[in-house]
Amino acid sequence: MTLRTAESVRWIVGLALMGTLLGVGMTWVMPQVYDASVSFDVQRINKQSTQEYQFDGYYEIQASDLFSQTVISWFLTPSVLSEMYDRAGIDPQIQNISEYARRFSAKKYSPQNIVVTFQEKTESRAQKLAGAVVEVVEGRSQELNKTQDNRALFLIQGATPVIAEHEYPISLYGSIGAVAGALLGLAVFSYRRGME
């Protein structure tokens, strides 16, 4: 091994180790947050009885799908999200209106299953907000989906919220730091070699 090769290996390994330490260190200084998940079940109720062929419930599923899409749109609407924070009795701590929609992720896994996820700084904030999310979604859905004779067509039920401490993947951050450090070491060595 030549002197130049040994020096390049030292640079690459040294900066890779520094990158690994920085990556792992970042996981220790990152703020603690809590992940929350609330699932909603959309059920079709008060069906009209008919002797006609029902196409194996195809149109019921289509109607549930459209109603679920409406519920998902509420998580992109600042006024609805503000109502959720107000109901929870907590300050949303936002700088501008567009931050509301980025706080929540709502996905429709099937026409009858919606899952909403979000993060909060403390477990108690997450609990309060999750409860408010269930209350607002159930309340709004009752107001929205009524027939002429004031009967609901859909029933939305929120499941018990799941809240867990967010775990940062130390090995991932360490690996990213190691690769970045090794690439930086290679770049430094190449630059120094080019300067000679």
Q: Which of 14-18, 33-37, 114-118, 127-131 has the lowest mean pLDDT?
A: 14-18
Exposed, middle or buried by CB within 10 Å (0-12, 13-18, 19+), for 96? exposed
User: Rounded mean pLDDT of 127-141?
Assistant: 93
pLDDT at 118: 95
Q: What share of the chain is helix, strand, coil (3-state, %, to 5)?
A: 55, 20, 25
Architecture (CATH level 2) of domain 34-165: 2-Layer Sandwich (3.30)
Cα–Cα dist 34/162, whole Å: 10
User: CA-to-CA distance for 67 and 80, rounded, in angstroms?
Assistant: 16
Strands (DSSP E) found in 26-71: 34-44
Angle (nearest 5°) at CA 13 between 8 and 19 = 125
Q: Is the pLDDT of residue 122 over 60?
A: yes
Is the model's pLDDT at 35 over the cut of 80?
yes
The pLDDT of residue 163 is: 94
Please list the residues that pair with 157 across neighbouring strands: 41
User: Is residue 39 over pLDDT 90?
Assistant: yes
- Beta strands 113-120; 162-165: pairing state: unpaired
Lookup: tokens for 196: 């000679």
For the stretch 41-61, pLDDT in tens is: 988 776 666 556 555 566 677
Global pTM reads 0.70
What's the pLDDT at 15? Answer: 72
Q: Look at 139 and 190; give whichever has higher pLDDT.
A: 139
pLDDT > 70? residue 136: yes
Residue 38 and residue 116 in contact, taking contact as beta carbons nearer than 8 Å:
yes
Q: Report whether 19 contacts 177 (CB < 8 A).
A: yes
Q: Which residue has the tokens 């996820």?
A: 117
For residues 90-103, average pLDDT: 85
Residue 89, pLDDT score: 94
Q: Is the pLDDT of residue 191 over 80?
A: no
3-state secondary structure of 141: helix
pLDDT at 54: 55
Other Cβ atoms within 10 Å of 107 Cβ, number: 11
> Does the pLDDT at position 120 exceed 90?
yes
Residues in Cβ contact with 5 at an 8 Å cutoff, skipping those fewer than 6 apart: none
What is the residue extent of each domain of the chain?
Answer: 3-30+170-195, 34-165
Token pair for 190? 């190449």
Res 160 pLDDT > 60: yes
Q: What is the pLDDT of residue 52?
A: 62
pLDDT value, residue 73: 92
Query: What does the pLDDT average to over 107-135?
Result: 93
- Work out the pLDDT band at 1, boundaries 50, 70, 90: low
